[in-house]
Chains A and B, each alone.
Chain A
Amino acid sequence: MSFDLIFWVLCFFFDLALLSSNFYQLVILSDLEADYLNPFESSSRINFLIVPEFIVHGLLCAIFLLTWHWLLFLITLPLACYSAMLFVNKRHLIDVTEVFRALSGEKKFRLIKLGFYLFLLFIIIFRLILSAFNSLTSDEHYVDLF
């Protein structure tokens, strides 16, 4: 087991967590829109997830930096900065009293994030397979192109 493989597996799970969290929030928001959920319930569920999600994203971003994956670091950096900005301005949580006014914006934001993490997931899976392949055939680094 090489370090590389462990790293990519870790990234894979981080990204999967982010992806599923976003998907879950999106589902809650559409439930709210369709009146399957009340605003109190839905915003408390979403707000519960927001800060952990920021932290995971920050971790992901940080380990990309620490392991000198510049490209991936630069890809994840803008979202990390944006999240940090939201957090500093205290706008990261869903405001239960005005949730319907912000609903479409929040949905759009999460949809974009969902796409972003999906894209990231593809890259990570690709690298994961590569490193897995490399570690299995450790003597010959055929495809150590990346």
Chain B
Amino acid sequence: MKNPSLALARTLSHLTSLKPLPTAPRVDDDGDSLPSDLTTTETATTSPLLADDDGYLLPKSPTTSSPTKKATQLLSRKRQQLRIRWPYKCSYHVKPIGSDDLGHLKLFARPTAAPFACNSLTMTPFQSSGPLVGSDNSGLRPNTPLVPQSTTPFSSYGPVVGSESSGYVRPPPMAPQTNVPQASSFRPAPPARFNDPSVPPPPTSYAPTPAGPFPTPQFPSNQPPPSRPVIGSRPPFQPPAAQVPPPQLPLHPQQQIPLVPMGSPPQNMNYVPGTGRTNIPQPSSDSSFPALRPNSQPSFPGYVRQQSSADSPAPPVQSPFLSKQGSAPFQTTPPSFATHQAGYAASPPVAAPMGLQTRDRMQHSTLGPPAGSLQGLVEDFNSLSIGSSPGSIEPGVDLNALPRPLDGDMEPKLFNEMYPSNCSSRFLRLTTSGIPSSQSLASRWHLPLGAVVCPLAEAPDGDEVPVINFSNSGIVRCRRCRTYVNPYVTFTDAGRKWRCNMCSLLNDVPGEYFAHLDSTGKRVDLDQRPELTRGSVEFVAPTEYMVRPPMPPLYFFLIDVSVSAVRSGMIEVVAKTIRSCLDQLPGFPRTQIGFATYDSTIHFYNLKSSLTQPQMMVVSDLDDIFVPLPDDLLVNLSESRSVVEAFLDSLPSMFQDNLNIESAFGPALKASLLLMRQLGGKLLIFQNTLPSLGIGRLKLRGDDLRVYGTDKEHVLRLPEDPFYKQMAAEFTKFQIGVNLYAFSDKYTDIASLGALAKYTGGQVNFYPNFQSSIHGEKLRHELARDLTRETAWEAVLRIRVGKGVRFTSYHGNFMLRSTDLIALPAVDCDKAFAMQFSLEEALLTTQTVYFQVALLYTASCGERRIRVLTAAAPVVPDLGEMYRHADTGAIVTLLSRLAIEKTLSSKLEDARSSLQLRIVKALKEYRNLHSVQHRLGGRIIYPESLKFLLLYGLALTKSTTLRGGYADVTLDERCAAGFTMMVLPVKNLLKLLYPSLIRVDEHLLKSSGHDDLTSIEKRLPLTAASLDSRGLYLCDDGFRFILWFGRVLSPDIAMNLLGPDCAAELSKVILGEHGNEMSRKLMRMLNKLRESDSSYYQLCQLVRQGEQPREGVLFLSNLVEDPIGGTNGYVEWVLQIHRQVQQNP
């Protein structure tokens, strides 16, 4: 064995393979637990505490023969046809001399006789074959292209002095705090202090008093937070002003705009004059208007009732209402029904039949002013009148009054405020943070009940997740349920025991972890224990959590070099991008890299560091694929840097004359698996044509119009050949994550190819009709991000939840390794996973339900870590509370994933209607909740927290995946969008569903020099009515920018922005910077927008008003509120939902 790390891995795997696999009793199912087929070598037979860790999967038995031997045998046995191909097609076939043990070496040496004549026409990117012999022989020298320091990770688990193993290179964001050997730096102090490790903390910080100079969290970690705080009954400790978000206030994550939707006590004070009236619905005022008959057919369907903004010029009574509508932009609309205003003022909004009314009725608060007690039973909900205006009979909805998420995603503030130790909502979002107390209650909540987890979400500066090393005590976990220690555990018995918050088991505190309790029952070292104060921490995992040493990050590139790939310029962009990213690949200096290309044959590249030029090896036997060289195809990047660079430089020119149209994709995949199975890693596939050769070849089954609408429709969106699913499963098994980049202008069956990414935790990037001149920039940025973002390797994720609740289904790109363990060969910050839970017991007895996400992974630096995210949510006994705690973003994410999964088993139409049905059911339940107390008349009511649900539901049915049928979206695009939407975190998904539309020409004309994003980002409703043909608009859905030029836009602007191209057809124009202020300003603005959302690159596309059909496809399809092509507009959608809600069951 040449290589120590390889040898170790093999030994380990050998040991593992000896264990009786299926029957080994699992001691516990812990979290990051060991998949049953793999047992840790050391721990399997020892105490249960040790045995539970997890896993990482070893290749089952790569033990029998070393790859070297195997390949040699293969070679000699089969007398493979092996070609050494020189650039420019001067390759020829060589018969191996099989009898020799070094046969394969000679084989590569053969081409010394290569016809140089054909080589001479151009410069040769590869070295001439002369030196080949020598270099091949040296291929057997014991160089260690694999991680030379692969054993170092273990050193950190030894008894490291201090609480931190400072010997580790940590990822840059963590560096400031983690390298400080003093535990005190973990104190939950303000970030400023956190970031300054060089300043030793004052000695007082060690004083074991919680009342030290450092702020402690609001809820002491060892006391359970007050269970189920009823919002309404909380003492009004917040000034009302704090609850009134000014309408244009930019939503800042840190900003506390809590409780907005919930009627909260402080307002009782403002309410005093009007309380008597507000909660008594006045039937008289209802009757003063024509009967509301939403079911009657509109005679003027287009009629839109103007918002009379009943609340704006109102007496003091209504000021709270006004302020409550903070996020609703429509209150600024001029009151057009002035004559009615008096009436509205006299009869409070309850009774007003038109317009949007936010009824904020507080729950009676005993602490509130006496007037509050008059309010009695109260709920808060929004309503939208489906009424008719005087003189007309058709039902109408005020278009302007409809709620729109123009401020972007609202993160659930309330959730984190009640439980300050919860992890941030960017990591974990529950669809409702009020957990139903009983099964019957849960069954009345028709929306999904679950969570969206984005375990590696990018943290803003100063809020990084602290890394903790329990170097000698081991990670503290519950004995029974394997919960990690977290802020919600309670310490008792003078600190000797701790009670698990999930299963209430009393555990012993390990000796090294012991600390005394102070008079309030808190641990005295609380401020030095981030795991006891923060909901998101990372533990350094000791050796029990690994079955093999952490592998180095491996990037393997599988590049299609057939003629279409060459023509589109993809190869060049890819090669250049990879080359430019070599410095930033994570995991230096251990990073491994490898390349293979394929057309009708598969080409491997020997990148051994001793070579000066890479060598190409061609395998043309596709039926029995093998790897021509056991080592040196995957090399250590830092050692072989110059060879890799030489390869990437020559790659584009190497194939520029290639005329091969075939694609041996399946065999190439198998070869990649053979190569990567030792190490795992990331496989990046650049695929340009439909796989046509060898195993896994696909038919042009195409997009058949006749299939749509039949029972066979969904089959189009499923993988055609089970080969791809099997390969995906194999890849996951060997810890290989696949990212697919597809470029074709023709049908490439993304549905089949995407399965590779779907089950390996990867992603699909689809560039239809790729042209490097147009899409090159997008590919460059997205590939660069893929290569350079912090990635977690060999990961498994499990979410634990308290007693009585169980996670039942998981949705996203991953493969389930056991019923509740998500296997993720490679995962990064742009991936989110959704899951649904259900109640196991009829009645929950606890007051709070805890959720704990544990992601066990190998960081790029080679350290095994466990990221633990903990959150608590109150159990609520009634449906109203559940609605009040609902989180639209998480609900929409789950709904969209469910809908996409539905399209894989039924028609698009069915997926849309089941989505609609779900929304209708939810709103109907909500209506039933309130229809007893209130006269609802013809109004559609919905909870404040779900006010955007209707719109997002509509946008979802119009999204690329669910929209229309055959003609609306090509099959490949639909599938690619589906794969993408299955991984998107909440924020990105919401932006994709409801893109932001902003008017830019006014901003560009303004002479003010500063480019403040907030000043321009006034989002407009996505309807054609927002567009002015004199304007220039930017539509940003997070994936692309569309710049819309109004028909009568001032020619100056167009001239300035486009230069001489302004008269040309815009589809061919690429927006670039021209030498004038306006153009620069626009580019600055676009770049700023791109920086704010860097997970995808937004390519700017230009479209002119009236430029059909391009405008329709590109731009108008984003205007989700408009009725386009037979779909519902927002108004019709609301009316339709309302009708269905009103229908009796």
- Mark contacts of A87-126 with chain B using CB atoms, 8 A cut-off: 1 yes-contact digit, 0 otherwise: 0001001011101110100000000000000000000000
**Distance in Å from the Cβ of A133 to the closest Cβ of chain B?**
42
- Mark contacts of B803-821 with chain A using CB atoms, 8 A cut-off: 1 yes-contact digit, 0 otherwise: 0000001000001111101
- Mark contacts of B9-26 with chain A using CB atoms, 8 A cut-off: 1 yes-contact digit, 0 otherwise: 000000000000111111
**Distance in Å from the Cβ of B139 to the closest Cβ of chain A?**
33
How far, in angstroms, from A93 to B23 measured CA to CA in the complex?
23
Determine if A90 and B22 form an interchain contact, defined as CB atoms under 8 angstroms apart.
Answer: no
In the complex, whether B1135 has a CB less than 8 A from a CB of chain A is no
Residue numbers in B under 8 Å from A93 (CB-CB): 722
Residue numbers in B under 8 Å from A99 (CB-CB): 816
For A45, the closest partner residue in chain B by CB is B22
Determine if B22 and A39 form an interchain contact, defined as CB atoms under 8 angstroms apart.
Answer: no
Determine if A40 and B729 form an interchain contact, defined as CB atoms under 8 angstroms apart.
Answer: yes
In the complex, whether B726 has a CB less than 8 A from a CB of chain A is yes
Residue numbers in B under 8 Å from A28 (CB-CB): 22
In the complex, whether B947 has a CB less than 8 A from a CB of chain A is no
**Distance in Å from the Cβ of B723 to the closest Cβ of chain A?**
12
Residue numbers in B under 8 Å from A40 (CB-CB): 37, 729-730, 733
In the complex, whether A36 has a CB less than 8 A from a CB of chain B is yes
**Distance in Å from the Cβ of A92 to the closest Cβ of chain B?**
11
Determine if A37 and B36 form an interchain contact, defined as CB atoms under 8 angstroms apart.
Answer: yes
In the complex, whether B728 has a CB less than 8 A from a CB of chain A is yes
Determine if A36 and B759 form an interchain contact, defined as CB atoms under 8 angstroms apart.
Answer: no
Residue numbers in A under 8 Å from B815 (CB-CB): 39, 97
Cβ-neighbour of A35 out of B36, B722, B725, B755 (below 8 A) = B36
Determine if A36 and B819 form an interchain contact, defined as CB atoms under 8 angstroms apart.
Answer: no
Residue numbers in A under 8 Å from B809 (CB-CB): 101
How far, in angstroms, from A20 to B726 measured CA to CA in the complex?
27
Cβ-neighbour of A97 out of B22, B29, B759 (below 8 A) = B759
Determine if B725 and A41 form an interchain contact, defined as CB atoms under 8 angstroms apart.
Answer: no
Residue numbers in B under 8 Å from A36 (CB-CB): 22-26, 36
Residue numbers in A under 8 Å from B817 (CB-CB): 38-39
How far, in angstroms, from A41 to B29 measured CA to CA in the complex?
18
**Distance in Å from the Cβ of B980 to the closest Cβ of chain A?**
19
Determine if A97 and B728 form an interchain contact, defined as CB atoms under 8 angstroms apart.
Answer: yes
How far, in angstroms, from A110 to B29 measured CA to CA in the complex?
26
In the complex, whether A53 has a CB less than 8 A from a CB of chain B is no
Residue numbers in B under 8 Å from A100 (CB-CB): 816, 818-819
Secondary structure type dominating chain A contacts: helix
Residue numbers in B under 8 Å from A41 (CB-CB): 21-22, 37
How far, in angstroms, from A101 to B819 measured CA to CA in the complex?
9
Determine if B36 and A90 form an interchain contact, defined as CB atoms under 8 angstroms apart.
Answer: no
Cβ-neighbour of A38 out of B37, B722, B730 (below 8 A) = B37
In the complex, whether A33 has a CB less than 8 A from a CB of chain B is yes
For B760, the closest partner residue in chain A by CB is A97
For B725, the closest partner residue in chain A by CB is A97
Point out which of A33, A34, A36 has the most chain B C-beta atoms below 10 A from its C-beta.
Answer: A36
**Distance in Å from the Cβ of A45 to the closest Cβ of chain B?**
9
How far, in angstroms, from A54 to B90 measured CA to CA in the complex?
53
Residue numbers in A under 8 Å from B728 (CB-CB): 97
Residue numbers in A under 8 Å from B33 (CB-CB): 35
**Distance in Å from the Cβ of B756 to the closest Cβ of chain A?**
10
How far, in angstroms, from A140 to B37 measured CA to CA in the complex?
59
Determine if A35 and B29 form an interchain contact, defined as CB atoms under 8 angstroms apart.
Answer: yes
Residue numbers in B under 8 Å from A34 (CB-CB): 26
In the complex, whether B35 has a CB less than 8 A from a CB of chain A is yes
Q: What's the interface size class on B, roughly? A: 20 to 34
Residue numbers in B under 8 Å from A31 (CB-CB): 22
How far, in angstroms, from A15 to B992 measured CA to CA in the complex?
57
How far, in angstroms, from A34 to B816 measured CA to CA in the complex?
13
Residue numbers in B under 8 Å from A97 (CB-CB): 725, 728-729, 755, 759, 815
For A103, the closest partner residue in chain B by CB is B819
**Distance in Å from the Cβ of A65 to the closest Cβ of chain B?**
32
Determine if A37 and B22 form an interchain contact, defined as CB atoms under 8 angstroms apart.
Answer: yes
The number of residue pairs between A and B whose CB atoms lie closer than 8 Å in the complex comes to 60
How far, in angstroms, from A108 to B815 measured CA to CA in the complex?
23
Determine if B36 and A38 form an interchain contact, defined as CB atoms under 8 angstroms apart.
Answer: yes
Point out which of A37, A38, A90 has the most chain B C-beta atoms below 10 A from its C-beta.
Answer: A38
How far, in angstroms, from A28 to B33 measured CA to CA in the complex?
20
Residue numbers in B under 8 Å from A95 (CB-CB): 722, 725
**Distance in Å from the Cβ of A107 to the closest Cβ of chain B?**
13
Determine if B819 and A33 form an interchain contact, defined as CB atoms under 8 angstroms apart.
Answer: yes
- Mark contacts of B514-556 with chain A using CB atoms, 8 A cut-off: 1 yes-contact digit, 0 otherwise: 0000000000000000000000000000000000000000000
Determine if A96 and B725 form an interchain contact, defined as CB atoms under 8 angstroms apart.
Answer: yes
**Distance in Å from the Cβ of B719 to the closest Cβ of chain A?**
9
How far, in angstroms, from A87 to B730 measured CA to CA in the complex?
23
For A42, the closest partner residue in chain B by CB is B22
Residue numbers in B under 8 Å from A103 (CB-CB): 819
Near A by CB (< 8 A), chain B positions 713-760 give 722, 725-726, 728-730, 733, 755, 759
How far, in angstroms, from A32 to B819 measured CA to CA in the complex?
8
Near B by CB (< 8 A), chain A positions 15-53 give 28, 31-41
Determine if A90 and B722 form an interchain contact, defined as CB atoms under 8 angstroms apart.
Answer: yes
Determine if B729 and A38 form an interchain contact, defined as CB atoms under 8 angstroms apart.
Answer: no
Point out which of A34, A99, A100 has the most chain B C-beta atoms below 10 A from its C-beta.
Answer: A100
Determine if A38 and B35 form an interchain contact, defined as CB atoms under 8 angstroms apart.
Answer: yes
For B755, the closest partner residue in chain A by CB is A97
Residue numbers in A under 8 Å from B38 (CB-CB): 38
Residue numbers in A under 8 Å from B725 (CB-CB): 95-97
**Distance in Å from the Cβ of A40 to the closest Cβ of chain B?**
5
Point out which of A32, A95, A96 has the most chain B C-beta atoms below 10 A from its C-beta.
Answer: A96
- Mark contacts of B833-876 with chain A using CB atoms, 8 A cut-off: 1 yes-contact digit, 0 otherwise: 00000000000000000000000000000000000000000000
How far, in angstroms, from A35 to B22 measured CA to CA in the complex?
10
How far, in angstroms, from A38 to B816 measured CA to CA in the complex?
10
For A96, the closest partner residue in chain B by CB is B729
For A28, the closest partner residue in chain B by CB is B22
Residue numbers in B under 8 Å from A101 (CB-CB): 809
How far, in angstroms, from A35 to B819 measured CA to CA in the complex?
7
**Distance in Å from the Cβ of A138 to the closest Cβ of chain B?**
48
Residue numbers in A under 8 Å from B23 (CB-CB): 36
How far, in angstroms, from A33 to B26 measured CA to CA in the complex?
13
Near A by CB (< 8 A), chain B positions 1070-1084 give none
Point out which of A32, A37, A95, A97 has the most chain B C-beta atoms below 10 A from its C-beta.
Answer: A97
Residue numbers in A under 8 Å from B818 (CB-CB): 32, 35, 38-39, 100
How far, in angstroms, from A115 to B725 measured CA to CA in the complex?
32
How far, in angstroms, from A14 to B809 measured CA to CA in the complex?
39
How far, in angstroms, from A45 to B25 measured CA to CA in the complex?
19
For B809, the closest partner residue in chain A by CB is A101
How far, in angstroms, from A28 to B37 measured CA to CA in the complex?
13
For A95, the closest partner residue in chain B by CB is B725
Residue numbers in B under 8 Å from A32 (CB-CB): 818
**Distance in Å from the Cβ of A119 to the closest Cβ of chain B?**
29
**Distance in Å from the Cβ of B647 to the closest Cβ of chain A?**
34
Determine if B37 and A37 form an interchain contact, defined as CB atoms under 8 angstroms apart.
Answer: yes
Near A by CB (< 8 A), chain B positions 819-834 give 819, 821
How far, in angstroms, from A78 to B24 measured CA to CA in the complex?
39
For A35, the closest partner residue in chain B by CB is B818
Given contacts A31-B22, A38-B817, contact A96 B35 (CB under 8 A): no
**Distance in Å from the Cβ of A51 to the closest Cβ of chain B?**
14
**Distance in Å from the Cβ of A69 to the closest Cβ of chain B?**
37
How far, in angstroms, from A28 to B36 measured CA to CA in the complex?
13
How far, in angstroms, from A35 to B21 measured CA to CA in the complex?
12
For B810, the closest partner residue in chain A by CB is A100
**Distance in Å from the Cβ of A35 to the closest Cβ of chain B?**
4
The 10 closest A-B pairs by CB, nearest first: A35-B818, A38-B37, A96-B729, A97-B759, A100-B816, A38-B35, A97-B725, A36-B36, A37-B22, A40-B733
- Sample 19 A-B pairs with CB under 8 A, ordered by A number: A34-B26, A35-B29, A35-B818, A35-B821, A36-B23, A37-B21, A37-B36, A38-B35, A38-B38, A38-B818, A39-B729, A39-B815, A39-B818, A96-B726, A96-B729, A97-B728, A97-B729, A97-B759, A101-B809
* Extra pairs beyond A35-B26, A97-B759 (8, CB < 8 Å): A28-B22, A35-B36, A36-B36, A38-B35, A38-B38, A97-B725, A97-B815, A101-B809
